[in-house]
Amino acid sequence: MGRKLAGTPESKEERRALMEGGRRYIVAYGCARAWATLTFTGVGAGAGAAVLDAALWSFNPHITFDVAFIAVSLLLALAFRRFVPLNENRGLRAVAVAAMVAASVAVAAALWWPAASFGLMVAGSLAAGVGYGLFLLLAAEVLVTFNLLRIFLFLAAAQLLGVVITFFCQGMAPAQAQVILLVLPVLAALYLQNCYAHVPATDRPRRGVPKFSYPWKLFALYAMYAFAYGMRASQLTAGAGRHSSLSTGILMAVLFATAYFASQRFNIGLLYRSPVVLMVCGFLLIPAESLLGAAASSWLISISFSLMSFLVMFLLYDISKRLGVAIVAFMAIKNAEQLFELLGGAATGALGLAGLPAATENLVITAVVSVLILASTVLLFSEKELASKWGVDILEQGGLVERSAEEERTAERVEELAAACRLSPREVEVLALLAAGKTGRQVQQELFIAEGTFKAHTRHIYEKAGVNSRKELFEMLGISS
């Protein structure tokens, strides 16, 4: 059976229709990302940076922002069952927008009240971390209601919009900057709520959460990249970074344009492995920065981390949709892993305090990152478990694969036959793969079973279904062999 992209656009009208329903989400998420950059997460950007430039103290409120962001993410990761679906909880929605607005007020007040700027910025950064952390999880719940191709497009478009908004808001006069800081979180909350209101009731997140196992490989992979990026984050050149920076904007523009205009030829498997090459090249260029400058290494490292972050998010959405698990369970952990970025920065700071020569320090950083990249490579190229355990088959298939209408009907027949014949869970897996057109050898490889075990499962399926061959089994399922 051939595979196609569900909702693949073949004309201008279809491509235009593909974006319907997502514009509200794109505006909401884009405004929130730009707001975060203009307050506490951006380097040299927005009103938050203006306060730091004028301050007589040297504390970086980005640290307290990260602490609050990680704390609220960990809290939701541990207690998500009590709160999902988050968008049905008015209290959480109110806390998210109120905390973001309070942070904006604190930054604005710090611009006009320098004597109290330290306390205002610390309090504001804590509120911002809580509000932004909650908002991202609320947004994730909305995004997971779309199909995979739209999720990919909306994620890329929203992050690109965040870069555009940040670009136009930088360098504004204090009065204008304060208004923007107050307007952005309100716009983000209103657009997100409106987007959720337009989601059909049948597609909205459910309260119950089935039993599941966490995709630890993806979390471990992201943690390694976060640590490696953190070791270099404080030394990146202008325009590079994982927030609403120019490097992020270029990357998201490329991803969006490729998926939008060439989704049939889009290869997720190749894209999934590309960050390791970019990260390796970036760190290999560090010793040559005295000759080539820091721009090349900075851009490669930041683009690598941004791309890996994007792909991990996308794969978590895929797993959530396939297993019926609340996306909050996965995204809360992914957000909390920002801790590893802080640890990477702390490791570099510790090396600086050791008084090592610059060349030796760069050598140590490169050695540490080399080990991380080696471990990442092992995880990147052993994704079989992602497909067999968590149902992520888009890496092997190559594109943003979703089942066609014919495949959906076949899957329904498989479920009906499995229930009627009381097949075991393993027999259901074998039957589903056979119905998908897999050969016996392919089934053995995907399920990591021996040939004898495969034949035993097949024999049991035939006996329970009352057939004598695969042809008869396919006829029962309505599949042309």
- List the one residue out of 145, 159, 205 whose CA is nearest residue 28: 159
Using the 3D structure, point to which of 176, 203, 230 is the last residue of a domain. 203
What CATH code is carried by the domain that includes residue 40? 1.20.1250
Q: Does 324 lie in the same domain as 469?
A: no
Give domain status of residue 1, yes or no. no
Q: What is the pLDDT of residues 31-49, one digit of tens each?
A: 999 999 988 876 555 566 6
Give domain status of residue 208, yes or no. no
Q: What is the pLDDT, as a whole number, of residue 4?
A: 38
- At 203, the amino acid letter reads D
Q: What is the pLDDT, as a whole number, of residue 382?
A: 64
Q: Does 349 lie in the same domain as 472?
A: no
Q: Does 129 lie in the same domain as 76?
A: yes
Give domain status of residue 358, yes or no. yes
Please, is 210 exposed, middle or buried when counting C-beta atoms within 10 Å of its C-beta (0-12, 13-18, 19+)? exposed
Structural domains counted in the chain: 3
Using the 3D structure, point to which of 181, 203, 225 is the last residue of a domain. 203
Q: Where are the alpha helices (DSSP H) in 84-208?
A: 90-112, 117-143, 148-169, 174-197
Q: What is the pLDDT, as a whole number, of residue 123?
A: 94
Give domain status of residue 150, yes or no. yes
Q: Does 417 lie in the same domain as 377?
A: no
Q: What is the pLDDT, as a whole number, of residue 3?
A: 36
Q: Does 136 lie in the same domain as 268?
A: no
Strand locations in 378-465 (E): none
Q: Does 376 lie in the same domain as 450?
A: no
pTM here is: 0.78
Q: Residue 443 belongs to what domain range?
A: 405-477
Give domain status of residue 199, yes or no. yes
Q: Does 430 lie in the same domain as 392?
A: no
Extract the tokens encoding 3. Answer: 């595979």
Q: Does 335 lie in the same domain as 259?
A: yes
**What CA–CA distances, in Å, run from 393 to 384, 442, 460?**
9, 13, 26
What CATH code is carried by the domain that includes residue 439? 1.10.10.10
Q: Does 364 lie in the same domain as 452?
A: no
Give domain status of residue 4, yes or no. no
Extract the tokens encoding 34. Answer: 């730009």
Using the 3D structure, point to which of 203, 228, 258 is the last residue of a domain. 203
Q: What is the pLDDT, as a whole number, of residue 149?
A: 84
Q: What is the pLDDT, as a whole number, of residue 9?
A: 45
Q: What is the pLDDT, as a whole number, of residue 1?
A: 32
Q: How far is CA 455 from the centre of its chain?
A: 40
Q: Does 367 lie in the same domain as 336?
A: yes
Q: What is the pLDDT, as a whole number, of residue 158?
A: 96
Q: Does 415 lie in the same domain as 394?
A: no
Q: Does 25 lie in the same domain as 67?
A: yes
Please give the Cα distance from 78 to 357 (Å, whole number).
43
Give domain status of residue 76, yes or no. yes
Give domain status of residue 363, yes or no. yes
In the predicted model, residues of the chain with pLDDT beneath 50 are 1-10, 401
